[in-house]
Amino acid sequence: MQSRNFKPNGPRGPKRRGPGSGYQGGRSNTFNRGRSGGRGRFTGNAIDINKFINKSAGPVAEDKYIAKTLFPEFPIDQRLKTIIAQRGFETPTEIQEKTIPLIMEGKDVIGLANTGTGKTGAFLVPMIDKILRNPHEKLLVVVPTRELAIQIQDEFVAFSKGLHINSVVVVGGANIRPQIDKLRSRHNVVIGTPGRLKDLIQRKRLILDRFANVVLDEADQMLDMGFIPDVRYLLSLVSPKRQTLLFSATLAPEIERLTGEFLNNPEKISIRKRDTSAQVDQDVVRIDRGQDKIEVLHNLLAQTHFQKVLVFSRTKHGAEKLSKALHHKGFKAESIHGDKSHAKRQKALKLFKENIVQILVATDVASRGLDIPNVSHVINFDVPATFEDYIHRIGRTGRAGKTGVALTFVG
């Protein structure tokens, strides 16, 4: 890791430790999350800082999955096959090859797979085919964040081009009136976040009893964000004779209980890839008492190999404040968090994806579900709430066989 030798704050910069060297400064190796950002304490299990340190093995050539069935061989509508071919897809990913036949058989499915494995196509392809066979079919896709809803909508539009199948995206943070207007038009698919879906139902603008197909995407994040009661409410309103698909990176006990309540003899498909952290060079940046964290961050980002950087802040206020501070210091930086309007979040994400801005400061809303290409570094300006959150954060880098770098500020 090249950055292991740098001094982020000049000659007197924070000391950095290598594996086995012992945490300097007289504190224990268990980091109390309440010290994060100096903005008060918050409860939870402490995280051993040794978990933030791991030397990657360098670029990893992914074990290429060899599919036995190609897309042209799936028994799907020829028009859909043509679109898939025009998009340059011939070989399905593992999650696609293993779930599409099951979904086409009408079975409920639990798909355990991380972001970037092709799971959106795994449910969109058979569901679009199902709608083509029966134009009265309706699909509800429930996701935890606005950004993921838009991402799925973009994929749906690409897969259904020219097929005259319409979808509506309903998410919080955006004007509800245009969403209500779109719901009045003919549509087969609704993609939404739990809170906005519930709001529309209570306004009697959305009735779910005709929806006989449901996808719950990133179910573990919906659990983390406290959406499971809303998900239960939504599932209680859809058609009792339905096909339900659940996709999640992990299967927490609460999610497993949900599957027992609402899925009918589901088939479980688990795609366990190499832990993302194996491709991510991880280390800590020690912040000594009295040091300015923003100044330390500035000196890191000024180095040329920090090309496309995702910086995580614990709070919405902290993310916005940090983004403005970096912009003031001359960096091209944007922020994404829950207090930002839908339009501004989409704009910030677009600018970062297209490399117009170099730095995106985010809360954990950006750590899951989103596929952001070529992130060179993830910096945990504030220590994450849980180690699982840490894994999800650093999973934004070191993708597609490349090596990434993750640095966590501790002190």
> Do residue 198 and residue 79 come from a single domain?
yes
Q: Which residues, in sequence order, are CB contacts of 329 under 8 Å at separation 6+? A: 298
> Do residue 352 and residue 318 come from a single domain?
yes
Residue 220 has pLDDT above 90, yes or no: no
**87, 93, 98, 102 alpha-carbon torsion, rounded to 10°:** -20
User: Could you tell me if 58 and 403 are in contact, meaning their C-beta atoms sit under 8 angstroms apart?
Assistant: yes
Lowest mean pLDDT among 4-18, 39-53, 202-216: 4-18
> Do residue 160 and residue 226 come from a single domain?
yes
In 3D space, the residue among 46, 81, 179, 188 whose CA is nearest the CA of residue 127 turns out to be: 188
Last residue of a domain, one of 224, 242, 270: 270
Last residue of a domain, one of 239, 270, 301: 270
pTM (predicted TM-score): 0.73
Does residue 106 lie in a domain region? yes
CA pair distance 71, 106, nearest whole angstrom: 19
> Do residue 252 and residue 156 come from a single domain?
yes
Last residue of a domain, one of 210, 243, 270: 270
> Do residue 214 and residue 76 come from a single domain?
yes
Lowest mean pLDDT among 182-196, 286-300, 393-407: 393-407
DSSP state, residue 339: T
> Do residue 262 and residue 178 come from a single domain?
yes
Could you tell me which residue, 146 or 371, shows the higher pLDDT?
A: 146
> Do residue 90 and residue 166 come from a single domain?
yes
Lowest mean pLDDT among 20-34, 107-121, 228-242: 20-34
Residue 105: count other Cβ atoms within 10 Å of its Cβ: 11
Q: What is the CATH number of the domain that holds 31?
A: 3.40.50.300
> Do residue 142 and residue 193 come from a single domain?
yes
Helix, strand, coil percentages in the chain from 3-state DSSP, rounded to 5: 40, 15, 45
Q: How confident is the model at residue 297 (pLDDT cuts 50, 70, 90)?
A: very high
Tokens 């944007």 belong to residue = 334
Does residue 19 lie in a domain region? yes
- Cα angle vertex 144, ends 94, 351, to 5°? 85
> Do residue 106 and residue 140 come from a single domain?
yes
Does residue 94 lie in a domain region? yes
Structure confidence at residue 61 (pLDDT): 54
How many domains, the chain? 2
> Do residue 145 and residue 239 come from a single domain?
yes
> Do residue 29 and residue 136 come from a single domain?
no
Q: How many angstroms separate the Cα of 67 from the Cα of each of 87, 97, 309?
A: 18, 7, 34
% of the chain with per-residue pLDDT over 90: 62
Does residue 209 lie in a domain region? yes
Which backbone phi and psi does 51 adopt, to 5 degrees? -70, -15
Does residue 66 lie in a domain region? no
Average pLDDT over residues 355-366: 89
Task: Give the structural domain span for 349.
Answer: 2-61+275-410
Does residue 352 lie in a domain region? yes
Kind of pairing, strands 213-216 and 139-142? Answer: parallel
Residue 195: count other Cβ atoms within 10 Å of its Cβ: 15
> Do residue 139 and residue 6 come from a single domain?
no
Kind of pairing, strands 30-31 and 47-48? Answer: antiparallel
